[in-house]
C-alpha cells in the first residue's frame, strides 16, 4: 500500500481557523479570538444566515448550527496554508493533541499505507486529551480547556462527562504535570514514525512549546504578523499570510 506523499497532523494553526469570520460577519476588518468567537451568539446567528445563503440543497433547520460550523470548518481548511502544499493530506483539527495525532497516523498506516513524510504542528497549551474506555470502546477525547463546558457533538454524552471530570482532576496536578504528559505523548508519536521509518518534521509555531524538542522548524515569527498583544487575530492579515507560511514550510522540509 502507498499513502499520500505528505500527511500533516496538527491543530487549528493548520486549519485556517476563523478565516471566514470577516465574510460571515460582514466586517472586513474583523479582529477576534477563536474561543471568544465560538461563544458569541450574535456571530452564531450570522453564521447560520451565511450557511443558508451558501447552501443550495434542502436545509436541516433543526441542526442548522451544527451544519453551519461544519461547513465553515471545511471551507476554512481549504483556505489554509496546508492547501498550498501539493499532495498534502491535512488531518489537522481544532483542539488536537499528540495523542490524537498518534491515533490518526496509526490508522493511516494501517488503512492506506505509509506517507513519504509527516508534518507535525505544535498545539495550544490549553488543549487537553484523555483516553476514555466506555462500554468496551476506546475514545480518544480532546478539547480546548476554554471550551470544556461548551456544547459538543462528537462524543456520547456519558463519554464526554467522564472526560471533563478527568480533565478537571488532572488540572489540579499543575502545569508541570501537563508538560510531562504532553512530552510523553510527543515522544510516543515520534517513536511510531521512527518505527515505520517515516521522515517527519516538527513545525513550531508557539514559543511555549520549545520544551518539547530541540529538533524543530522555527516558524514562531509567522503568527506574530497577524496576532496582536491581546491574542486577537487580524483575519485579513492572517489570510494574506497563508501562502507565506506554506512557502516557509516547503523550504524548510525540502519541497519545491
What is the domain count for the chain?
1
Is residue 106 domain-resident? Answer: yes
Is residue 55 domain-resident? Answer: no
pLDDT in tens, 171-216: 999 999 999 999 999 999 999 999 999 999 999 999 999 999 999 9
Is residue 151 domain-resident? Answer: yes
Is residue 89 domain-resident? Answer: yes
Q: Calculate mean pLDDT across residues 70-81.
A: 96
pLDDT in tens, 49-65: 999 998 877 888 888 98
CA distance 130 to 141: 6
Is residue 68 domain-resident? Answer: no
Residue 1: is its pLDDT beyond 60? no
CA distance 231 to 46: 23
CATH no. for residue 86? 3.40.50
Is residue 155 domain-resident? Answer: yes
Q: Calculate mean pLDDT across residues 21-29.
A: 93
Is residue 53 domain-resident? Answer: no
Is residue 38 domain-resident? Answer: no
DSSP letters along the chain, please? -B--SEEEE-SGGGTTTTTTHHHHHT-TT-EE-HHHHHT-HHHHHHHHHHHHHH--S---GGGHHHHHHHHHHHHHHTTSGGGGSTTEEE---TT--HHHHHHHHHHHHHHT-B-SEEEEE---TTEEEEEEEETTEEEEEEEEGGGTTS---SS-HHHHHHHHHHHHHHHTT-HHHHHHHHHHHHHHHHHHHHHTT--EEEEE--GGGGGG-S--EE-TTTGGGTB-TTS-EEHHHHHHHHHHHHHHHHHHHT--
Residue 241: is its pLDDT beyond 60? yes
CA distance 174 to 185: 17
Supply the range of the domain harboring residue 180: 6-18+80-253
How high is the pLDDT of residue 32?
86
Amino acid at each position: 500500500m502507498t499513502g499520500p506523499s505528505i500527511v500533516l497532523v496538527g491543530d487549528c494553526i493548520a486549519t485556517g481557523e476563523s478565516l471566514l469570520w470577516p465574510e460571515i460577519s460582514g466586517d472586513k476588518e474583523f479582529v477576534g479570538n477563536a474561543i471568544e468567537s465560538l461563544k458569541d451568539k450574535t456571530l452564531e446567528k450570522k453564521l447560520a444566515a451565511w450557511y443558508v445563503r451558501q447552501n443550495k440543497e434542502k436545509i436541516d433547520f433543526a441542526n442548522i448550527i451544527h451544519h453551519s460550523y461544519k461547513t465553515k470548518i471545511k471551507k476554512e481548511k481549504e483556505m489554509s496554508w496546508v492547501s498550498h502544499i501539493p499532495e498534502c493530506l491535512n488531518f489537522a483539527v481544532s483542539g488536537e493533541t499528540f495523542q490524537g495525532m498518534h491515533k490518526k497516523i496509526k490508522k493511516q498506516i494501517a488503512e492506506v499505507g505509509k506517507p513519504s513524510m509527516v508534518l507535525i504542528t505544535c498545539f495550544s497549551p490549553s488543549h487537553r486529551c484523555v483516553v476514555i474506555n466506555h462500554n468496551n470502546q476506546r475514545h480518544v477525547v480532546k478539547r480546548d480547556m476554554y471550551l470544556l463546558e461548551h456544547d459538543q457533538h462528537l462524543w456520547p454524552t456519558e463519554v464526554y462527562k467522564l472526560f471533563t471530570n478527568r480533565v478537571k482532576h488532572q488540572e489540579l496536578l499543575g502545569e508541570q504535570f501537563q508538560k510531562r504528559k504532553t512530552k510523553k505523548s510527543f515522544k510516543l508519536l515520534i517513536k511510531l514514525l521512527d518505527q515505520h521509518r517515516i521522515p517527519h518534521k516538527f513545525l513550531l509555531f508557539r514559543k511555549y512549546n520549545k520544551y518539547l524538542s530541540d529538533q524543530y522548524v522555527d516558524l514562531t515569527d509567522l503568527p506574530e504578523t497577524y496576532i496582536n498583544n491581546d491574542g486577537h487575530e487580524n483575519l485579513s492579515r492572517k489570510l494574506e499570510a497563508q501562502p507565506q507560511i506554506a512557502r516557509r514550510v516547503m523550504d524548510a522540509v525540502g519541497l519545491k
